[in-house]
Structure 1
Amino acid sequence: MALMPKRVKHRKQQRGRIKGEAQRGNTIAYGDFGLQATEAGYVTARTIEASRIAIMQYIRGEGKLYIRIFPHKPVTARPLETRMGKGKGDPDHWVAVVRPGTVLFEVLGVSKDAAKDCFARVAYKLPVKVRLLEKTPGPLQS
């Protein structure tokens, strides 16, 4: 079953524009390695699920996966072969809005080579360009 919100206040949303870089969710918080978007775009719930399956098949229970994005935005579509007019279509699928700098996935407990190979497989599935991030110890961590 694809990811989607349990309840929403409004069934349909306007598209809007993706402006600027990610202010939040742009650093590694849970894992050792992360996959960070370098450009803006929409990632569908199906793509997130396909990426999750690809990562879980690769790490095979060794490490832990953290998914840092969630599809909150509904995208509507008109039925095929329908004439113009007659209003807006029904919600068709859900997407996560991704800004440049957003961390999409994180893994914990795997080697750098494994994380690199794993995220290379996932990057192929994603509609945005991504790069590998490595957690750097902070000033209070040793």
Structure 2
Amino acid sequence: MLQPVRTKFRKAFKGRIHGKAARAVVLNYGQFGLKAIEPERIIGKQIEAARVALTRYMKRTGKVWTRIFPNIPVSKKPTEVRMGKGKGSPEYYACRVKPGRIIFEIDGVSEDVAREALYKASAKLPIKTKFIKR
């Protein structure tokens, strides 16, 4: 599961995801990609599940680039705990994804294989995505 080696602060504010993506909006590495259409937080487990689905369908041919990384700690209080007593401890790490951001890029496979592989990967993500090609 993806998570940063160290962070400046242990806990982060929830925040809101405003506007369109400014970075990672064009294909830099591969021929085909998966682009986010709506804003959402994607957690490390979801990224890993999508990556596994992608590489399994491609039968480990070609190359995959992951253009997002979960670096935001998401805290959670234990179940059945009363209100107050501070913020909960960090449970997992997430990535804030804006619309227009490329999540995965792949190369070295045909367009049909790439389209199906990225479709399977998108099923593991909590957002609507779009298949794009160079």
TM-score bucket of the superposed structures, by smaller chain: over 0.9
Q: How does 1:83-122 map to 2 (within 5 A)?
A: 83-122=82-121
How far apart, CA to CA, are the structure 1 residues paired with 2:105 and 2:21? Answer: 17
The answer for unaligned runs of 5 or more in structure 2 is none
Instruction: Give the equivalent residue in structure 1 for 2:57.
Output: 58
How far apart, CA to CA, are the structure 1 residues paired with 2:84 and 2:121? Answer: 39
How far apart, CA to CA, are the structure 2 residues paired with 1:64 and 1:79? Answer: 40
How far apart, CA to CA, are the structure 1 residues paired with 2:63 and 2:73? Answer: 29
Q: For residue 122 of structure 1, report the CA deviation from its aligned partner.
A: 1.0
Q: How many residues align?
A: 134
TM score, norm. by length of structure 1: 0.93
Give the SS at the match of 1:94.
Answer: strand
How far apart, CA to CA, are the structure 2 residues paired with 1:82 and 1:91? Answer: 16
- The structure that has the greater radius of gyration is 1
User: What percentage of aligned pairs have identical amino acids?
Assistant: 43
Instruction: Give the equivalent residue in structure 1 for 2:133.
Output: 134
Instruction: Give the equivalent residue in structure 2 for 1:12.
Output: 11
CA RMSD in angstroms comes to 0.6
Give the SS at the match of 1:133.
Answer: strand
Q: For residue 61 of structure 1, report the CA deviation from its aligned partner.
A: 2.4
Q: For residue 62 of structure 1, report the CA deviation from its aligned partner.
A: 1.6
The answer for unaligned runs of 5 or more in structure 1 is 136-142
